[in-house]
Amino acid sequence: MFNFGIWTSEFNNFLLGFLPEWLTVVVECVLIAVLVLLTYTVLALFYILYERKLCAWFQCRLGPMRVGKWGLLQVFADMFKILIKELISLKDTDRFLFKLAPYIIITSSVVMLACLPWGNGLQIIDYNIGIFFILAVSSIGVLGILLAGWSSNNKYTLIGAMRSGAQMISYEISLGLAMITIIVLAGTMNINQLVWEQDSAWFIFRGHIPAIIAFLIYIVAATAETNRGPFDLPEAEHELVAGYHTEYSGIHFGFFYLAEYLNLFIVSGIASLMFLGGWMPFHIPGWDGFNHVMDWIPSIVWFLGKSFFISYIIIWFKWTFPRVRIDQMLAFEWKYLMPLSLLNLVLMAVCVALGWHF
């Protein structure tokens, strides 16, 4: 399996050949920041078109077809339209918090994007408590949503923000418990080690029934955490106009729009990391020839393919199930999903203690 770390090391040595060490670090940080932001934008544009085409397919339509061949340039036209829209300044709002909220949401999703293991040797942030860091950073996003709803001085945005806060804080519990269940199996929170632990078999296969249950809980909780249907109560159009970002326009609205789609990719990437091996190819113990062929596929292709597959499932949910009521959504989490997550965590701990796993 090719290690992209060879390229990064050679580039670092190349810069050290004519730059001092401190300046080399600065140049590398700037290049990584530009690369992350570029990846962020490209992925967001791809996901907008990806969902619109999948939605059309589910509903027996063609989707956007006018701009570019097969409608492939429609997202660029939409992006250009958002960029030239006027930023409307409202009366009786907390202007500082109103403008700060979208940047908080964008910052949260960009940092989480940098934590993902894109391939063998392609990881920007790698702490020994990487999963804990991801959970901590993901909690910042709800702060931006609450600030956006409150600072807009609009009853619809405030209700949408309160709904979003209650929903995201509630489902973060089940999301975290599902991830902790896999951490118990792996014995580490280091992101790179989590991938290498799945060299022989992915955790969804090694962990037996508890791992499968944790995967299903994670998918449901991640759907709610990203405010996507059928859990899109914070943006319920028939009740709240557009929810917490009703009063936003131009690029500020575009930040919310981009963050929503990037959060879809991020939760899919984390699911790929925790359950499907991240960038690790599909290996079957004892099948050396088959495993060697799988290793020829670049690791970044494995990671992106798994993430797009998980995103497909979450998008499928949105365009299949009707929107639930807010009381039903919260009751489902506190009465069913969280107790099941706790029980599954205990079951996984018992399986690990007794050695009932691969």
Q: Which residue ranges make up each domain of the chain? A: 85-354
Q: How confident is the model at residue 234 (pLDDT cuts 50, 70, 90)?
A: low
Q: Average the pLDDT over 195-224 and give the result.
A: 90
Beta-ladder partners of 122: 119
Distance between CA atoms of residues 202 and 276, nearest Å: 5
Q: Average the pLDDT over 129-134 and give the result.
A: 89
- pLDDT per residue as tens digits for the range 80-95: 888 888 777 777 778 8
- pLDDT per residue as tens digits for the range 258-268: 888 888 999 99
Q: Average the pLDDT over 122-139 and give the result.
A: 86
Residue 240 is predicted with a pLDDT of 59
Quote the percentage of the chain above a pLDDT of 90.
Answer: 22
- Check residues 16 and 243 and name the one with the higher pLDDT: 16
Residue 180 is predicted with a pLDDT of 93
H or E segment to which residue 37 belongs: helix 21-58
H or E segment to which residue 290 belongs: helix 288-296
* Least confident among 86-90, 136-140, 178-182, 283-287: 86-90
pLDDT at 304 over 90: yes
125: its two tokens = 């942030």
Residue 159 is predicted with a pLDDT of 82
CB atoms within 10 A of CB 17: 8
Cβ contacts of 78 within 8 Å, gap of 6 or more = 48
Residue 357 is predicted with a pLDDT of 67
Residue 239 is predicted with a pLDDT of 59
Q: Average the pLDDT over 186-214 and give the result.
A: 89
Residue 12 is predicted with a pLDDT of 84
Contact indicator for 187, 275 with CB cutoff of 8 Å:
no
- pLDDT per residue as tens digits for the range 271-290: 999 999 889 999 888 888 88
Q: Average the pLDDT over 231-247 and give the result.
A: 68
SS3 category, 3: coil
Residue 349 is predicted with a pLDDT of 92
Q: What is the mean pLDDT of the chain?
A: 86
Residue 241 is predicted with a pLDDT of 65
Q: Average the pLDDT over 210-221 and give the result.
A: 93
- pLDDT per residue as tens digits for the range 16-65: 888 888 888 888 889 988 998 898 888 988 998 898 888 888 888 888 88
Q: Average the pLDDT over 223-232 and give the result.
A: 81
CB atoms within 10 A of CB 287: 11
pLDDT at 236 over 80: no
116-135 burial code (b ≥16 CB/10 A, e <16): bbbbbbbbbbeeeebbebbb
